[in-house]
Structure 1
Amino acid sequence: MPIRFLAPLSLGMTLASAAMADAPRVATDIAPVQSLVARVMQGVGEPDVIVRSGASPHGYAMRPSEAAALEEADLVFWMGEGLTPWLEGAIDALASEAHAVELLGAAGSRVLPFREGVAFEAHADHGHEDHGHEDNDHEDHGHEDHGHEDKGHEDHAEAHDHDHDHDHGHGHDHAHGGADPHAWLDPANAQAWLGLIAQELSEHDPENAMIYAANAETAQAELQALSEEIKAQLAPVRDVPFLVFHDAYQYFETAFDISAAGAISLSDAVAPGPARIAALREMAEARGVTCVFSEPQFDPKLVETVFGEGVSHGVIDPLGSQLAAGPGHYPQMLRDMAGAMVACVSGAS
Structure 2
Amino acid sequence: MPKLNTLVRSLPLAAALFFSTQVSAQQVVSTLKPLHLIAKAVTDGVLEPVQLLPDNASPHTFSLRPSDMQVLTDAELVFWVGPEMEQFMVRPLERTSAKVVALYTDHNSDHDDHDDHDDHDDHDDHDDHDDHDDHDDHDDHDDHDDHDDHDEHGDEHDGHNHDTHIWLDPHNAAEIAVQMTDALVSVMPEHEAALHANLNEFKLSLEQLDVELKTLLEPVQDKGFFVFHDAYGHFVGHYGLNQLGYFTVDPARQPGARHLAEIRQQLQDNNASCVFSEPQFTSAIVESITRGISVGQGVLDPMARDIAPSKTAYVDYLRGLATEMAGCLSN
**Counterpart selection for 1:190 from 164, 168, 173:** 173
Structure 1 equivalent of residue 43 of structure 2: 41
Judging changes above 3 Å, is the alpha-carbon distance between structure 1 residues 60 and 183 closer, same or farther for their aligned structure 2 residues? same
The answer as to whether partners of 1:50 and 1:62 remain within 8 angstroms in 2 is no
One-letter code aligned to 1:328:
T
Q: How many residues align?
A: 283
Name the CA distance, whole Å, in 2 between partners of 1:161 and 1:342: 37
Q: Deviations over 1:188-208 (max 9, x none)?
A: 011012112111111110111
Matches within 5 A, 1:84-233: 84-93=86-95, 95=96, 97-105=97-105, 109=106, 111=107, 148=112, 150-151=114-115, 152-153=117-118, 162=141, 179-233=162-216
Q: Report the identity percentage.
A: 30
Bigger radius of gyration among the two? 2
Structure 1 equivalent of residue 129 of structure 2: none
Deviation, 1:280, is 1.2
Deviation, 1:271, is 2.0
Structure 1 equivalent of residue 311 of structure 2: 327
Structure 1 equivalent of residue 301 of structure 2: 317
One-letter code aligned to 2:242:
S
One-letter code aligned to 1:100:
V
Calculate the TM-score normalised by the size of structure 2: 0.78
Secondary structure of the structure 2 residue equivalent to 1:324? coil
Deviation, 1:298, is 1.6
Deviation, 1:326, is 3.8
The answer as to whether partners of 1:292 and 1:314 remain within 8 angstroms in 2 is yes
**Counterpart selection for 2:225 from 242, 259, 263:** 242
One-letter code aligned to 1:275:
R
The answer as to whether partners of 1:83 and 1:181 remain within 8 angstroms in 2 is yes
Judging changes above 3 Å, is the alpha-carbon distance between structure 1 residues 158 and 280 closer, same or farther for their aligned structure 2 residues? farther
The answer as to whether partners of 1:161 and 1:273 remain within 8 angstroms in 2 is no
Name the CA distance, whole Å, in 1 between partners of 2:23 and 2:52: 22
More helix by share: 2
Judging changes above 3 Å, is the alpha-carbon distance between structure 1 residues 27 and 318 closer, same or farther for their aligned structure 2 residues? same
Q: In structure 2, list runs of 5 or more residues that go unmatched.
A: 1-13, 120-132, 144-155
Structure 2 equivalent of residue 71 of structure 1: 73
The answer to which of 19-28 and 261-270 deviates more is: 19-28
Name the CA distance, whole Å, in 2 between partners of 1:161 and 1:340: 36
Judging changes above 3 Å, is the alpha-carbon distance between structure 1 residues 250 and 192 closer, same or farther for their aligned structure 2 residues? same
Judging changes above 3 Å, is the alpha-carbon distance between structure 1 residues 255 and 158 closer, same or farther for their aligned structure 2 residues? farther
Secondary structure of the structure 1 residue equivalent to 2:118? coil
Calculate the TM-score normalised by the size of structure 1: 0.74
Name the CA distance, whole Å, in 1 between partners of 2:91 and 2:210: 35
State the superposition RMSD in angstroms: 2.8
One-letter code aligned to 1:53:
D
